[in-house]
Amino acid sequence: MAQIFLDTASIDEVREAAAWGILDGVTTNPTLMMRAGTADLKENTLAIVSIVQGPVSAEVLSTDAAGMIEEAREILSWSEHVFVKIPVTVEGLKAMKEISAWPNGRVNATLIFSANQAYLAAKAGATYASVFVGRMDDAGLDGMEVVAQAREIFDNYGFDCQVLAASIRHPAHVLDALLVGADIITMPFGVLQKMIRSPFTDAGVEKFLQDWERAQGK
């Protein structure tokens, strides 16, 4: 079964989506932290963990491998649910290779824009490979094709690394990610809301209620 993650640092959004019973985890990044108006990564990450009790990704800010490794050591110590997000760069791959060998080395390889990057992240031991679908589409590329390619490559070679469809813009992205076999789809709160809502469902509920009242002679 594909997992549904919320792509947000907003505690209110996480609390609301968790109450719907279909939330498996959360991904954050520095931009989402800024939007949520918080600068305390540890406090915010642990607040989210306490709500979802599932995987929550927090991103490093260092650009060199040594710095990423130091940050990862700290971030991963916060909770067994926390994953460290590391970009797929040369320095990031070096860091992933080392961190993923730790007993608690839960790595979310991020900012993936090609299947080759996804393959290298898996080879370096990442648990998740986050493919940025919407940003590729914005650039005139086919983001979902990279998700499909990553799926095929991981299956071809038996990688445990999970394909995470990120940078999701609308419900059609979610559907396509499900159809190409993404393991995880992380989406903004608004996209999750749009997945649920249908005017036909609302109209159907309304009609059933009206007809039930008529059946009672009201």
The residues carrying an active-site annotation are 85
> Does 127 contact ligand G3P by CB under 6 A?
no
> Does 135 contact ligand G3P by CB under 6 A?
yes
> Does 25 contact ligand G3P by CB under 6 A?
no
In the complex, minimum distance from the CB of residue 111 to ligand G3P, in angstroms, rounded to a whole number: 8
Q: Which of 7, 13, 24, 176 binds ligand G3P (CB under 6 A)?
A: 7
How many CA atoms lie within 13 Å of 108's alpha carbon, on the beta-carbon side?
A: 30
Contacts 24+ apart (CB under 8 A), 105-112: 105/72, 105/76, 106/55, 106/76, 106/82, 107/72, 107/83, 108/27, 108/57, 108/83, 108/84, 108/164, 109/85, 109/161, 110/29, 110/57, 110/59, 110/85, 110/86, 110/166, 111/87, 112/88, 112/146, 112/150
> Does 8 contact ligand G3P by CB under 6 A?
no
Residue 125 or 134: the one with the smaller Cβ distance to ligand G3P is 134
In the complex, minimum distance from the CB of residue 75 to ligand G3P, in angstroms, rounded to a whole number: 15
> Does 27 contact ligand G3P by CB under 6 A?
yes
> Does 166 contact ligand G3P by CB under 6 A?
yes
Interface stretch with ligand G3P, choices 17-25, 127-135, 141-149, 194-202 (CB under 6 A): 127-135
Rounded Cα distance between 25 and 5, Å, is: 5
In the complex, minimum distance from the CB of residue 85 to ligand G3P, in angstroms, rounded to a whole number: 8
**Does residue 28 contact residue 57 with C-beta atoms inside 8 Å?**
yes
Which residues form the interface with ligand G3P (CB under 6 A)? Answer: 7, 27, 29, 132, 134-135, 166-167, 186
